[in-house]
Structure 1
């Protein structure tokens, strides 16, 4: 295998997986949260995973149970069938930033027929905070509550349910398994009960639940999923060269709404402080995160998508879907003018920022992001390097940064 391949997806932040731990969780009935806005309180007839069923287990036997499930046929009618509910799914939470290649990366899960993938389920809370419909300081707590209910397939308890559904339904046609809710690639006029029952059904049937969000501020906030709810959570921290991220944001002339929500003055500083805050937390080697965290650079995924995808699934402990190979072949060698398209000329997009920015712009980003770039493995450039470098590996440091090395980087910088 080519020597470059061994450096793919290099930033696995722990080399020793934590032993499986089963903790006692009190059996408590699910309570419907009080809603400050008129919200549907109907309970789904479709069963949901409870906190008990999310407990990690080392048992390799089939942990599924047979339950009645609702299904929507092509005419919109709901029928009931018996299906197996997986009581111990694998969970992947993709934490990233806007314009970091996350739409493309998310397709590595969306294209898996055995996965339940959600694209930006926290978007509505950003909009509500900007409209002063919720206090800005409630954003994080609402986000964590929502993730908890999604990960246990309990969609009917999501806060501000009607508002959440109206925002989320615009994304349902992105997922093939939910095609029954779409017509001509647009959401069908189905009731909220029917839509949520379908989500519950698909969630319960899945072996892997994956959520991608650019709106979660800190990896540290995921701790309670492991320590309080005993979920089989693994964190994929997707990063991209800050120079490429900022170039893409400037090119779109589109505001980063979460940047506006946080009311930070400088968007570049906000981006890099967010990265540094998470990397410092990771480097402190928290016990709950050991064996559950993987840092992935978009540049590596774009250059070696097949190898990266297989390594990611191996990390998650989930069988690799062979159908994904065909999707990668079909969607990584296409040029498109649509910046939101998941079909990309992957190798060409890595150097795109260097063809669109002048060195003064690059220098300003580097001056604000030197610590973030150092911790993530991106080399700073002088003007000569900026003009003459042809290979992205020349400005990426192809080396592993496990917990101990990350900790050493921050100790050295702080001293």
Structure 2
């Protein structure tokens, strides 16, 4: 009799789980269908997912018409995971009252699209990313809301990814009262605030002259062409790159469960890295290189809109490189930013995700953490990418750990 009850209970639990999963899948499918049928949020007529399409002339024209004449700047910091983008993003986040900075808003989009495609990226992802970026540069959060899980209620959410990493999203104007019983996952560090009201965030954004978005989810520069050509915006793109050996070493430390195969293979001859992992590494390096080759070729649509910078150069001389980036964007390099850089590039914090570090020392630490076998393998897979960016190869372990041997060629990347 007990066994019968147990079987019934198990069946009921299984049905509940299946029903929940079906609801999630249906919700994701609905979102993707909305894109395929070119439906937009209430504030506009359609969303573009065709890479050859252009944006309608009148979209949000009331808010952004004449943005260039008003001196508004829209900056996209494009990078890959563990390439120093969080640290470099702070150069802009700390700029002051005129800056609206967003940290990885596309995290929500990637999570939802991956959920709807069983962990693989949908072929529409690049165009969806582009359209979400367009809306965010226009201070419109309605499209992003479609991807936040659970969905915001009345445009209020306690779940915006890394809200605390944006100074603007923790200002008094967006700091709503704390609501009892509602826990904000990414709560502000400087003050205690309630869930984020995205309508208020939009209002604050519209008052800022400069808007910067940091993302590691855009992998191909050519998918952003219509965004950079958009006459309503003044988009400048900074591509941040890092030695792929250092990037992999950092990922192994930061995401040990994801990169366990690499770590095991490096110390055990009997363990192999899955072919899909090798292809992922190769694909990442190829995407970075092809985007850089396109950017450095300076086609007409990228004139005065593209800059390539190596993380290692920033780490060696953060103040100089920050000044160059600000000069490129046309945004004033404020004393507030200078003070932050001075204070946070001489810190001895050792946190994996910390943006406070002794940058000149930190940039070389990976050489003593990655086995030579692994460094050599990355050189084989990512050789063309390393050559383009001026990263020197090592032939033996002694060269790898010899700090007097620089792995960085002196190289200037020209941009207009």
Normalized against structure 2, the TM-score is what?
Answer: 0.71
Residue 407 of structure 2: aligned partner: 395
User: Does the CA-based 8 Å contact 2:350-2:357 persist in structure 1?
Assistant: no
- Which of 73, 77, 96 in structure 2 is aligned with 1:94? 77
Per-residue CA deviations over 1:23-65 (Å, capped at 9, x if unaligned) read: xxxxxx941669xxxxxxxxxxxxx9638725564x5xxx3xx
Structure (1 or 2) with the greater strand fraction:
1
Aligned residues: 325
Deviating beyond 6 angstroms after TM superposition, the runs of 4 or more aligned structure 1 residues are 182-185
Residue 408 of structure 1: aligned partner: none
Which sections of structure 1, spanning at least 5 residues, go unmatched? 1-28, 35-47, 64-87, 257-262, 405-415
Shift of the alpha carbon at 1:227?
2.5
Per-residue CA deviations over 1:357-393 (Å, capped at 9, x if unaligned) read: 22111111111111000111111122142232326xx
Shift of the alpha carbon at 1:226?
3.0
Distance in 1 of aligned mates of 2:376 and 2:145? 43
CA 225–52 in structure 1, closer or farther in 2 if over 3 Å, else same? farther
1:171 and 2:162 are equivalent in the alignment: yes
Residue 279 of structure 2: aligned partner: 266
Distance in 2 of aligned mates of 1:265 and 1:360? 14
Residue 225 of structure 2: aligned partner: 223
Residue 273 of structure 2: aligned partner: none
CA 153–56 in structure 1, closer or farther in 2 if over 3 Å, else same? closer
Residue 111 of structure 2: aligned partner: 127
Residue 293 of structure 2: aligned partner: 280
CA 120–168 in structure 1, closer or farther in 2 if over 3 Å, else same? farther
Distance in 2 of aligned mates of 1:206 and 1:318? 12
- Which of 121, 140, 152 in structure 1 is aligned with 2:126? 140
User: Does the CA-based 8 Å contact 1:94-1:210 persist in structure 2?
Assistant: yes
Shift of the alpha carbon at 1:110?
0.8
Distance in 2 of aligned mates of 1:249 and 1:225? 30
Aligned ranges 1:284-303 → 2 under 5 Å: 284-303=297-316
Shift of the alpha carbon at 1:286?
1.4
Normalized against structure 1, the TM-score is what?
Answer: 0.71
Structure whose alpha-carbon radius of gyration is higher:
2
CA 327–403 in structure 1, closer or farther in 2 if over 3 Å, else same? closer
Aligned ranges 1:7-406 → 2 under 5 Å: 30-31=43-44, 50=61, 53=64, 55=66, 57=68, 59=69, 63=70, 88-113=71-96, 114-132=98-116, 136-158=122-144, 160=146, 162-163=148-149, 166=157, 169-179=160-170, 180=172, 181=175, 186=187, 190=194, 195-252=197-254, 253-255=256-258, 266-383=279-396, 384-390=398-404, 394-402=406-414
CA 319–189 in structure 1, closer or farther in 2 if over 3 Å, else same? closer
CA 140–353 in structure 1, closer or farther in 2 if over 3 Å, else same? same
Residue 37 of structure 1: aligned partner: none
User: Does the CA-based 8 Å contact 1:50-1:152 persist in structure 2?
Assistant: no
CA 170–127 in structure 1, closer or farther in 2 if over 3 Å, else same? closer
Aligned with 1:382: secondary structure? coil
Distance in 2 of aligned mates of 1:380 and 1:387? 12
User: Does the CA-based 8 Å contact 1:96-1:213 persist in structure 2?
Assistant: yes
Shift of the alpha carbon at 1:129?
2.5
Distance in 2 of aligned mates of 1:222 and 1:168? 27
Aligned with 2:61: secondary structure? coil
User: Does the CA-based 8 Å contact 1:112-1:323 persist in structure 2?
Assistant: yes
Shift of the alpha carbon at 1:401?
3.2
Which sections of structure 2, spanning at least 5 residues, go unmatched? 1-41, 48-58, 179-183, 260-275
Q: Once superposed, what is the RMSD of the aligned Cα atoms? A: 2.9
Highest RCO, 1 vs 2 (Cα 8 Å, sep ≥ 6): 1
Residue 40 of structure 1: aligned partner: none
User: Does the CA-based 8 Å contact 1:121-1:168 persist in structure 2?
Assistant: no
